[in-house]
Structure 1
Amino acid sequence: MANFNTHLNVAFMVSGTLSLTVYKAGLVDDSGFLMCAALGTIGGLLPDLDSDNSTPIKLGFNLISFVFAFGLVMHWRGELSLLALMVLWLAGYGFMRYVVFYVFTTMTVHRGVIHSVPYMAILGLALTYLSHDILHLPLTVSWFYGLFLFGGAMVHLALDELYSVNLSNMKMKRSSGTAMKFYQHKDKWWYLLLYVILALLLYIAPPFDTFWQQVSDPAAWAKLKLGLWPELIKGWLS
């Protein structure tokens, strides 16, 4: 399978190119462009959350542990002494970084249900719902956020499948088919749960048809066409 640097670099290049495209089409603003690029890159690392020794899971749990400890201190800052807050900070960080991390890595298997298309679709739809219905962001931006996260994850899975092909003698490796998967019989009950959650998220998701009407508006792509070439080249072409 592809290594961390490959996943990071390819996801960044793909998400950066696509986010620039929708930005030049006027579908997202400056902050939306940056968020789409970042979410696509993050999505490119998400499927390896089920790998106990992967860089994404270590970085992710370090960040989550820090945020959790910070939240505890901010919540109790007016009621506890400085010493108590220091103990709370260390205890909160240690609990997330070591206890929860141990439980998570014990319960997950690399290239298990997390390393699958429906799981990544759930994360993308959940982000879309959170952005629109909880954070009250615009519909188009919310859908782009979810789609970029999901798209980055698909880049990751596609890379893993590509690396499962031995190009020197054009044969499949044993890892072929374990990355871009929709179902595995040995995890049938987990997949049943995933598809139930996915169906629920599809039901409560913001209207996709409205988003699609905005994205397919010819005016946006006419604007993109006008800004496609530098002025000098456009002068040569005209």
Structure 2
Amino acid sequence: MANFNTHLVVGTVVTGMGASLCYAAELSSLPLSLSLWMLGVWGSLLPDVDSDNATVLKLLFNGLALVAMAFALFWLASRLSFAQLWIVLAAVFVLVRFPLMGLFKKYSRHRGVFHSLLAVFFVGALSACFGHRVLQQSALVCWLAAAFVAGGYLIHLILDECYSVDLSNVRIKRSFGTALKPFSMQYYGRSLVMGLTAAWLFWLGPPMQKPWLSIAGSISAYVRAVL
């Protein structure tokens, strides 16, 4: 299994190249390209969220706690006093950061459902749906964001599989096949829930035909111009 620094470096380089391509093909502005790059890097670290001691796990739930606080602030700022608002915000942070993270650690297993191609589809659908339904972004922006999060996620799984082959001793480690599996047969119930949730998120997400045609057309036109 590749370590944290390897995932970070490779994810940064590959998704940075992708963001540069989007900018060069005039698919995204410079600020959007930088945002896509950050999403890609984040996606390249996400699969290790199911590791109890992972740095990514703490980062993820710190981020989720801050997002929950932002939504609470948006909805309650005009309804509560200053002191009440701070108490609610503190309670939201503690609830997400500790009990929720504890439940996730209890019911998740490393190299389980989150190390699978199904999880790649899940995080992509979740990203597109969140951008469309919550952030109210255009379909093109939503699917670009989904592509970078899912792409970074896939890079992580590929790296883990590559590190499952010991080239020095020319042998395959026991971990081979646990990262790039289509879904987890060991935790088939959780895989089923993830698959159904991903399909539901995909259905709730933005329309995809025109954005993907636009993405493919812009990139192919840029490649032809370069060549």
Cα displacement (A) at 1:72: 4.3
TM-score, scaled to structure 2: 0.86
- The residue that corresponds to 2:139 in the other structure is 139
CA pair 69-129 structure 1, distance change in 2 beyond 3 A: closer
Confirm or deny: 8 A CA contact 1:77 1:85 kept in the other structure. no
Matches within 5 A, 1:202-213: 202-213=202-213
Question: Structure 1 residue 170 and structure 2 residue 150: aligned?
Answer: no
CA pair 106-168 structure 1, distance change in 2 beyond 3 A: same
CA distance in 2, matches of 1:201, 1:94: 27
Aligned residues between the structures: 226
Percent identity over paired residues: 33
TM-score, scaled to structure 1: 0.83
Cα displacement (A) at 1:77: 6.9
In structure 2, runs of 5+ residues without a counterpart are none
- The residue that corresponds to 2:44 in the other structure is 44
CA pair 222-66 structure 1, distance change in 2 beyond 3 A: closer
Question: Structure 1 residue 183 and structure 2 residue 193: aligned?
Answer: no
CA distance in 1, matches of 2:208, 2:136: 16
Confirm or deny: 8 A CA contact 2:117 2:180 kept in the other structure. yes
Confirm or deny: 8 A CA contact 2:129 2:202 kept in the other structure. no
CA distance in 1, matches of 2:85, 2:135: 30
CA distance in 2, matches of 1:129, 1:177: 30
- The residue that corresponds to 2:54 in the other structure is 54
3-state DSSP of counterpart to 1:26: coil
Confirm or deny: 8 A CA contact 2:126 2:202 kept in the other structure. no
State the one-letter code of the partner of 1:158.
I
- The residue that corresponds to 2:29 in the other structure is 29
Deviation readout 1:175-226 (Å, 9 max, x if unpaired): 1111112123221222222222333344444343323322332x65444565
CA distance in 2, matches of 1:133, 1:177: 35
- The residue that corresponds to 1:79 in the other structure is 80
CA pair 169-140 structure 1, distance change in 2 beyond 3 A: same
In structure 1, runs of 5+ residues without a counterpart are 230-238
Deviation readout 1:78-115 (Å, 9 max, x if unpaired): 53463x55544443332222221111111111111122
Cα displacement (A) at 1:24: 0.4
State the one-letter code of the partner of 2:19.
S
CA pair 89-177 structure 1, distance change in 2 beyond 3 A: same
Deviation readout 1:111-170 (Å, 9 max, x if unpaired): 111222212211211222332355342322221111111000000000111111111022
- The residue that corresponds to 1:110 in the other structure is 110
Give the number of the structure whose alpha-carbon radius of gyration is greater: 1
- Output the aligned Cα RMSD: 2.5
- The residue that corresponds to 1:232 in the other structure is none
Matches within 5 A, 1:91-102: 91-102=91-102
CA pair 81-195 structure 1, distance change in 2 beyond 3 A: closer
CA pair 150-87 structure 1, distance change in 2 beyond 3 A: same
CA distance in 2, matches of 1:72, 1:207: 29
Question: Structure 1 residue 123 and structure 2 residue 128: aligned?
Answer: no
- The residue that corresponds to 1:235 in the other structure is none
* Residues 93-102 or 157-166, more deviating: 93-102
- The residue that corresponds to 2:159 in the other structure is 159
Confirm or deny: 8 A CA contact 2:116 2:184 kept in the other structure. no
* Residues 187-196 or 66-75, more deviating: 66-75
State the one-letter code of the partner of 1:161.
E
